[in-house]
Structure 1
């Protein structure tokens, strides 16, 4: 029995801030930062947007794209590291807003930037077991970065939702298999009550991102006995533009394979939505029969790899909701003061 994607939807706020406008405040060299990070600007939430509202918009887009009866959704799982409530699920808000309530199961997921793909895997299991008809898996974040911290240059806002099912006539993409690689690597964390995360610099690259991304990817390639050249596209978690480009090269994927899904230069790092946004951007242009290889990364740390094959159904539903490219178009640029207000960095005594 096949399991895969029945529909997908994305949401990106209209507001952006350019890297040079952040660098100007802190006295940093914007050109060096842009070159090193391969990020030019990032998405900024409006004053009334948070991970829940972003998740709702992405979920509604996914439901509308395939004209799904929301009452068929038996599970709603939202992955985020910026849930608006410490105690109150985001997923119940999404379920109510999309008309899916009552649902069999709803819960919020946390695993840094791979919480959304962990939700996809959970939905895959529930659908495959027959416990639910459809599952809704979301990755949404209003990513945090302390003023002046390196994270502030990339931490962005956005979200993606995937409807997971197993009726072959409905699948726009078959998820052939998935493989995860997880260890306890303390590269990034935020304790309860802390407004901003901290990161262990020397753990971020090799022991964090690259170890887990490459091991998850190699594990799935070995499991399926496939090679990078067997795929038309590849997507890797995008904390910046440099890391996924290097990971692709290490694994034998080409620049051409990752280019369609590499949206971070114009979007920033949407954390739980990062890899999922790259997959959505790829689905926006993939043809029936194309294969997509994707690997998400979450600090703490773990990687989730997926092998996906696009079906004929994609052409029927693709234009029924905004594409990622459309969401990135015509941004409204803000200065640092407006950005700080939107992000709640300015506290009123």
Structure 2
């Protein structure tokens, strides 16, 4: 393959809601829930933040890191399941905000939590075919959850943007290969006009997350004739803290290769941003020559797996935009009342 990551950026809202704060409202045991989910707190968007504003901030950070002219972007794709408009693209808002419009193609993607990695694959195709020089893929969400429901403890907000271009000496990471695995699986859904999603309980684990993540991962390893021992880091979609560690163990990746990208304990599940923020956390720490294994997951269901080799560009412009740790550590705790008011939540 002749494509690489030449820029990336993230954005995570600074407001945080602790798991025990949620648990106290509903008469639950906060410590038990924290231990069960391996999540301590989640990021919450401010009253003036949505998927579009999060995507714009991540995109600006990616441009700053890449040092390219935003007008060179030939494509922008925004993956999310919480686009602010049912009919009006988020991608055009991003394009105008970063001054990439009007000579480019843009679209919104939706595939639960893997729409961002689907955007990366589309950008790869656009660049490989010569249709555009650079493409930007964004995964961002302000995840919906029913008050009092199981998802409320993890559904969070945040996003990441990646600029894809041709291989070169200043690559942040070369894309060595990608492999996808997709089926029709009723594990998680939200019908039109419904405010909150539903999930299929027993379908969400083995037949959904693990089947797709493991199948995509093993498919790529076979395709590239590599093994977990060939990689320095592994990043998986993070619906909770336990699933990615369990998937890694079943594939043969030790915990120490997963922990650098395991950000869910501190910010929750950012849905389309989850795996991509995890990847950014790894890139913030990686050295040239390191290999990274990435697998996303989207309910409904599918997984995209990627193999990356870190390039010399990872050390250039490293301080031009905030790192994942900067956003994780810049936080302000809010009460459950402030949370429900800012989110306009409906108790049904």
TM-score interval, smaller chain = over 0.9
After TM superposition, give the deviation of residue 68 of structure 1 in Å.
1.3
1:322 corresponding residue in structure 2: 322
Secondary structure in 2 matching 1:298: coil
Give CA-to-partner distance per residue, 1:190-225, whole Å, 9 cap, x none.
011011000000100000100000000000000000
Q: Give the Cα separation in 1 of the matches to 2:206 and 2:342.
A: 34
Decide whether the 8 Å contact of 1:66 with 1:320 is kept in 2.
no
Q: Give the Cα separation in 2 of the matches to 1:229 and 1:8.
A: 26
2:195 corresponding residue in structure 1: 195
Give CA-to-partner distance per residue, 1:288-330, whole Å, 9 cap, x none.
0000001000000000000000001110122211000001013
Secondary structure in 1 matching 2:234: strand
After TM superposition, give the deviation of residue 346 of structure 1 in Å.
5.5
After TM superposition, give the deviation of residue 268 of structure 1 in Å.
0.2
Decide whether the 8 Å contact of 1:76 with 1:103 is kept in 2.
no
- Structure 2 counterparts to residues 198-277 of structure 1, below 5 A: 198-277=198-277
1:72 corresponding residue in structure 2: 72
Q: Give the Cα separation in 1 of the matches to 2:342 and 2:280.
A: 26
Secondary structure in 2 matching 1:216: helix
Decide whether the 8 Å contact of 1:294 with 1:307 is kept in 2.
yes
After TM superposition, give the deviation of residue 2 of structure 1 in Å.
2.1
Decide whether the 8 Å contact of 2:147 with 2:346 is kept in 1.
no
Secondary structure in 1 matching 2:155: coil
Secondary structure in 1 matching 2:297: strand
Q: Give the Cα separation in 1 of the matches to 2:154 and 2:103.
A: 35
Decide whether the 8 Å contact of 1:72 with 1:134 is kept in 2.
yes
Give the TM-score of the pair, scaled to structure 1: 0.98
2:285 corresponding residue in structure 1: 285
Q: Give the Cα separation in 2 of the matches to 1:177 and 1:161.
A: 19
1:25 corresponding residue in structure 2: 25
**Would you identify which runs of 4 or more consecutive aligned residues in structure 1 move more than 2 Å?**
none
For structure 2, list consecutive stretches of 5 or more residues without a partner in the other structure: none
Decide whether the 8 Å contact of 2:170 with 2:312 is kept in 1.
no
Q: Give the Cα separation in 2 of the matches to 1:227 and 1:138.
A: 29
Secondary structure in 1 matching 2:317: helix
Secondary structure in 1 matching 2:256: helix
1:178 corresponding residue in structure 2: 178
Q: Which moved more, 1:134-143 or 1:309-318?
A: 309-318
1:108 corresponding residue in structure 2: 108
Decide whether the 8 Å contact of 1:71 with 1:99 is kept in 2.
yes
Q: Give the Cα separation in 1 of the matches to 2:157 and 2:172.
A: 26
After TM superposition, give the deviation of residue 104 of structure 1 in Å.
2.7
Secondary structure in 2 matching 1:320: coil
Secondary structure in 1 matching 2:319: helix
For structure 1, list consecutive stretches of 5 or more residues without a partner in the other structure: none
1:129 corresponding residue in structure 2: 129
1:163 corresponding residue in structure 2: 163
Decide whether the 8 Å contact of 1:160 with 1:273 is kept in 2.
yes
1:148 corresponding residue in structure 2: 148
Q: In structure 2, do the counterparts of structure 1 residues 108 and 161 end up closer, same or farther at CA, with 3 Å as the change threshold?
A: same
2:34 corresponding residue in structure 1: 34
Give CA-to-partner distance per residue, 1:66-125, whole Å, 9 cap, x none.
221001100000000000000000000000001100133100000000000000000000
Report how many residues are paired: 347
1:97 corresponding residue in structure 2: 97
Q: Give the Cα separation in 2 of the matches to 1:309 and 1:267.
A: 27
After TM superposition, give the deviation of residue 58 of structure 1 in Å.
0.2
Give the TM-score of the pair, scaled to structure 2: 0.98
Secondary structure in 2 matching 1:160: strand
Aligned CA RMSD, in angstroms, stands at: 0.9
Q: Give the Cα separation in 2 of the matches to 1:164 and 1:289.
A: 19
1:45 corresponding residue in structure 2: 45
